[in-house]
Amino acid sequence: MHDCKVTPAMASVIKLARALGIPYSWITGYYHGLNFGRIADVMKGRLFPDVPPAASLPADFPKAA
């Protein structure tokens, strides 16, 4: 499987999603082809450390029922 590249826009959504306690699996499900390692890279500041969290999640982002 090909790992997709993280963009600054994705990084901001990832940061907000994790701050809201959204699991890695939901984030990777939303961004098809993204693996847990890229999420960890964003969260540990290895990718886009200066990008702030998004103000809100995309409308189609998975939410708890």
Tens of pLDDT, residue by residue over 34-54, are 999 999 999 999 999 999 999
pTM attached to this predicted model? 0.91
**Sequence ranges of the domains in the chain:** 8-43
How many C-beta atoms lie closer than 10 Å to residue 2's C-beta?
A: 6
Examine the pLDDT at 16 and tell me if it is beyond 60.
yes
Contact 42, 11 (CB under 8 A): yes
